[in-house]
Structure 1
Amino acid sequence: MRNIKLTIEYEGTNYHGWQVQPNAITVQGEIVKAINNITKENVNLIGSGRTDSGVHAKGQVANFITNSKIPEDKFSYAINSQLPLDIAITKSEEVPIDFHSRYDAIGKRYRYLIYNRPIRSPLYKNYAYHIPYELDFEKMNVAKEQFLGTHDFKAFMSSGSEIEDTVRTIHSISITKQDSLIIFQVEGNGFLYNMVRIIVGTLVEVGNGKKEKDSISQIIKSKNRMSAGHTAPANGLYLEKVFY
């Protein structure tokens, strides 16, 4: 038996998220189908975590056990030949048999894009959150620092999650501008359900004056989802990298 680790890039617009669902097209489902076509095995593809409908990825990671003799670096080419054009395996490698893409992960990095100009952009329709009014970039940059460190982020988790331990550590968070794009980058040891999107939505509300720039710490302490901002749309979110 061999354990194959995949690094995966996908454009999530046409999928009901990562995880296999009955009667829905998902990224995991498409990759499993491709692997099964190649190996003639019914593999169990384990992802590093779920991404929601419309969310994109540059560095999703998954692994599966196989008896196939295909060379480790050739799996990417073989699987890609069976995949739709909005999903690609960018790297395939053999790893120790006990490697687990979810349980062995020690951190993740996400990116979020906001398209900030009065007129929407058809080119960014599926790839960024369009905000037509000006955001106070400096206030958002001041506010973001309050997310750093280890906190109970229960206020930044959407309902529907069964996770009980809501303590997470944010290692870094940055906000930069490139013309009309505002780029958020967040890195931490793990993230709750919709946590990054709620962080972005809260910072947007700082930027538009609905929340004070020094309010983040109190929102975290409240552990109350109603205290935080809105959940930013899925189309602006990208899973950049999983750390092991």
Structure 2
Amino acid sequence: MKRTPVVLWIWYRGGSFKGFQRQPGEPTVQERLEQALRAAGVDASLMPAGRTDRGVHARMQVGSLRLPPGYLPETLAERLVPLLPPDLGLCAVRRAPKGFHSQWSAVGKEYRYRLQLGGAVAEAWRPFVMDPGTEPRLEGRVPSPERLAALLEAAVGRRDFHAFHENSSPRKPRTLESATLHALGDGLFEARLRGDGFGRYQVRYLVGSALLAAAGGLPEADYRAALDTGTPIAGLKAPAHGLLLWEVLYPPDKEPFPAELRRQAPGLPEGPPFH
């Protein structure tokens, strides 16, 4: 009998883990999830859509694996959820479309970064929001949301983002389809970035450097030159705890999660950082 290829939609709060990727002796998302899978009778390695760094959260992380013969996706959903730790959960298990690969089939991702630009951080949001007042390079500077929004928008397009990601990521053109700033109320804002691919720390460097330029701590001309030419700058890497992988995007013929399922997000906890 053949094994059944399935796709998992998982969520997690990154503060409890040392990143996504399995590391010997460390509590990572992959290690805890595969541990739960084994307890549920599925001894398989998870193939993720990508990796998140230590402290980064995910509303939708996608992973694929093959179930043992006779093991149904519905059975896995029922058995797996009770075995997961409090900060890691499951929204859906679906049969994989033909030819599906969780990473290589993806055509894009959306990340969201939360930051407080006025007032005090609400206690429920504190573990999930950057407070610029705690950043030494922003001390005494009050960035304008309007200017920050304009600087984020300036990054949209297909370009070399070399100045905004680690050298460990390949240097190649990437397309940032949109970069917008949204007010959530009480001084809390959310930067939403959607693109076909991101280098390591790219969202954190983009948001942090735009914030620094908006506050006058980095010449705007240097920021824009870095976007246009890839020239390195003394940018700012925003802290991990403000970053959320919102969703992974697939083309219609490889889409494992219908639009209605994406909207409903069954099993996703209420409240920060997912709502």
Please give the TM-score of this superposition, normalised by the length of structure 2: 0.82
1:131 deviates by: 1.9
Matched ranges for 1:133-172 at <5 A: 134-159=142-167, 161=168, 163-172=169-178
Separation in 1 of the partners of 2:225 and 2:170? 21
Separation in 1 of the partners of 2:177 and 2:221? 19
In structure 1, the gaps of 5 or more residues are: none
Separation in 1 of the partners of 2:148 and 2:221? 10
Separation in 2 of the partners of 1:62 and 1:180? 35
Residues 77, 135 of structure 1: alpha-carbon distance in 2 compared, 3 angstrom cutoff: farther
The partner residue of 2:16 within 10, 14, 22 is 14
1:99 deviates by: 1.7
The partner residue of 1:205 within 209, 212, 233 is 212
Separation in 1 of the partners of 2:161 and 2:227? 6
Q: Is the 8 A contact 2:213 2:223 kept in 1?
A: no
Q: CA RMSD in A?
A: 1.8
Separation in 2 of the partners of 1:140 and 1:172? 14
Q: Is the 8 A contact 1:129 1:236 kept in 2?
A: yes
Please give the TM-score of this superposition, normalised by the length of structure 1: 0.91
Separation in 2 of the partners of 1:84 and 1:68? 27
The partner residue of 2:29 within 19, 27, 30 is 27
Secondary structure of the residue aligned to 2:64 is strand
Q: Give the structure with the higher percent strand.
A: 1
Matched ranges for 1:90-105 at <5 A: 90-96=91-97, 98-105=99-106
Secondary structure of the residue aligned to 2:10 is strand
Secondary structure of the residue aligned to 2:247 is strand
Alignment size in residue pairs: 240
Q: Which moved more, 1:42-51 or 1:94-103?
A: 94-103
Letter in 1 for 2:40: I
Separation in 2 of the partners of 1:222 and 1:69? 54
The partner residue of 1:243 within 240, 249, 252 is 249
In structure 2, the gaps of 5 or more residues are: 134-140, 251-275
